[in-house]
A and B are shown apart, each in its own frame.
Chain A
Amino acid sequence: MSAVLVWAEVNEGRFKKPTLEALTVARKWADSLGLPVWAVVVGEKVPENLDPLSEYGADKVIRIVSPLLASFSPNAYARALATLMKDKNISYAVLPQTYDGRAIAPMLSIWTEAALFSGITTVPEKTDNGFTAKRIAYSNKGIEWVGSNHLPLIATIKTNSIIPEKSPRTAAVEDFAFTPEAKDLRLKVLGVEKVATDKVPLTEAEIVVSGGRGLKGPENWGMIEELAKELGAATACSKPVADVGWRPHHEHVGQTGIQISPNLYIAIGISGAIQHLAGVASSKTILVINNDPEAPFFKAADYGIVGDAFDIVPRLTEAIRRYKQQHAH
C-alpha cells in the first residue's frame, strides 16, 4: 500500500519519454489513491542527474545498484523490482511498455503475485470493484476496458499514448540493497549493436516518415531521409520494401514488423494494406501521399495529398524548412 512504484528505464544514460509517460500515469494514479510515487532505477550505475524523475512527480528515488546488473537480464531486473515491492509492501507499479519493460513486467507480475494491465493508454480508475483502464484491441478495430480487483496491480503504458506532465517536487534519494543470484544471471549479453545512434528510435519517435513500393527503388530514399531530418523524425518502411531489401528489416512497420503510435505518421507511396494499417493505425495524425486516389490508405488518413511523391516530398521538405526559418527566433 505504501506507494505507486515506477520503473525508471535508463536508455543511453538518460530517462526518455516512455519513462516520463509512466511517471505521469503513476502521479495521477497515486493522487487518486492518496499515495506517494517512488521511482526506482536499476543498473550497474545510475545517472548522476535524477532530477527528471522528481520533476515528473516522483516523491522518492530508489537506487538498486550492483555490478552484476551491468547488462540487461529480464530475470535479474524483474527479481530486483519484485524484491523491492515485497520488502516495502508496494501494491501498485507502473512500467513503460518498451522492449525491456515488456520483458520485465510479466515476470514481475508472477513473482509479486500481481495482476497485469498490459499496454494501457489511460490512468487506471477506481471502480466499485477494483480498477479499470483502456487499451487498444484488434489492431485498433476495437477498444477494450480491462478490469481487476486483484492486488498488487501492475500496469505497462503504451508508448506515446500519454502526454508527459511535469509535477515538480523535491525527492529524497535512497539505496536499496540487492544482489542478483546466479540463477537470474544465466542469460549473458555478449554485445550490443546500435543502428545509427544519431537517429530517433522508431518506437519512441513522435514523427515517422515511411516509404513504400511507390518509391520505386532504394536509391530514391534520399528525399525520405531529408524530410525526416527536417522534422526530427524516424524513418520507416512497408513490408514489401523490407522484404526486397530496399530498407533494413528493423524499419518495417506493420502487423509483423514494429507497431508504432507516433503523433504524426507520414506515409509515402504506401497503398495501405490492412496488415500495414494494423501497425500504424493508432498514430494520432496520418498524412498520406500517394498518386493513386483509390489507395486504401486514404480511408485511414487525416490529411491526404494525391500526387507524385517525387514532386511532392521535396516540396514538402522545402515548405517545412521555410516555415521553420520564418518562425525561428
Chain B
Amino acid sequence: MLFRPDMKILCCISHVPDTTTRIQFTADGKALDRTGVTFIINPYDDFVLARAAELKEKNPSGVHVTVLCVGKNGTSSTDSVDANLRKALALGLDEAVRIDAEPTDAFFVASQIAAYAKDKGFDLLFFGKESIDYNGSQVAGMVAALLDLPFISYATSIELSNGTAKLTREITGGKEIIESPLPLVLSAQKGLAEWRIPNVRGIMQAKTKPLHVLQPVSVAPRVQTLRHEPPPPKGSFKKIEPDQLDVLVQELANKGLI
C-alpha cells in the first residue's frame, strides 16, 4: 500500500574535488583535469544531509528523504557521483537520484532540480550554502525562484512544528530569527547540524537502496567557462625578526595596509 509520509525532504548535493587535492586544468583551460582527483560530497552539503538524517531518525516512518545530484560519473573510482550518493544514503536516508548530465552552469543545475522537484510535493528543499569549487551560492536561490518558494539562505538552524519552520539565518554581523511555512528552500551554513559519519549498518543498507538515474531536461546554460588559469605564483615570504617589528609596521603602513 502506498502511503504519504508526513514530511518529504529533498537534499541536493554537489560532487566536488577534495580540498586537499592538487588542482590542474585541461590543456585548453576550459575544465578541471579530473585525472587522479578525489571527489567528495561538498562539505556544506554534509550539514543538510546530517540535519535530514536527524529529522528522519526522530520519525523514521513519517519522514522520507531523497538525495539528488546533477552529474556524470567519472572514469575512476574516486570520481563517482553514485558512490557519493550511496555515502549520503548510508546516513539513513531513503533514496537517491542522479540527473545524468554535466553540471554546466548554475542555471542548468537549478533547472534540472526544479524540473525534478516540481510535482513531487517536497516540504523541505535542502542545499549547502555554496559549493567549494566556485563558491557561487547560486543554485538554491535559483530553485526557490523557479518553484516560487520562500528562500532562507545561510541557515544555521531549523526546527519544525505543525507545518511551520523556525530558523536562524546568518547575516552581516549577527543572525536573524525567521519563521516560514512549508514548503521552503534552505541553504545551510555551519551549525545546522553536526557532521555525521555513516556506521557499518548504514553502509550495508545503502548498497540496496534505490538510486534512480534520470535523463536531464533540455535547458541551455547561460554562463560558460572561457578558461582557467593558475593563480599568480606566490613568492617566498619575507622573514621578520622579532626585534624588527617597527620595520614591519612601517612597511605595512607604506603599503597602506594599516
Contact = CB atoms under 8 A, between A and B. Distances in A.
Interface in A113-158: 114-119, 132, 135-148, 150
Interface residues of B, number: 77
Interface stretch (A36-44, A54-62, A169-177, A302-310): A302-310
Interface in A90-121: 97-100, 102-111, 114-119
Given A119-B135, A138-B23, A257-B190, A107 B145 contact: yes
A138 B174 CA distance: 28
A259 B135 contact: yes
B102 to A, nearest CB: 16
Contacts of A73: 150
Contact of B25 (A119, A142, A231, A252): A142
A249 interface: yes
A187 B174 contact: no
From B110, B140, B172, B177, residue with most partner A Cβ within 10 Å: B172
Contact of A306 (B25, B144, B169, B239): B239
B5 interface: no
Given A189-B178, A207-B258, A302-B238, A143 B228 contact: yes
A107 B190 contact: no
Contacts of B239: 304-306
B252 A264 contact: yes
A307 B228 contact: no
Interface in A293-329: 298-307, 311-312, 315-316, 319-320, 322-323, 327
From A102, A145, A275, A306, residue with most partner B Cβ within 10 Å: A102
Given A137-B228, A189-B178, A100 B23 contact: no
Contacts of B238: 302-304
A298 B237 contact: yes
B174 to A, nearest CB: 4
Nearest to A298: B237
Interface in B75-98: none
Given A118-B138, A191-B176, A139 B132 contact: yes
A74 B19 contact: no
Contacts of A274: 19-20
A189 B177 contact: yes
Contact of A147 (B25, B106, B169, B223): B223
Given A257-B190, A304-B239, A315-B245, A107 B174 contact: no
A99 B189 CA distance: 11
14 contacts: A71-B176, A100-B171, A106-B141, A107-B142, A110-B145, A138-B23, A142-B228, A145-B227, A145-B229, A148-B224, A187-B184, A192-B176, A259-B135, A303-B238
Interface of B: 17, 19-20, 22-23, 25, 32, 43-44, 106-107, 110, 132-142, 144-146, 148, 150-154, 166, 169-181, 184, 190-191, 222-231, 234, 237-242, 245-246, 248-253, 255, 257-258
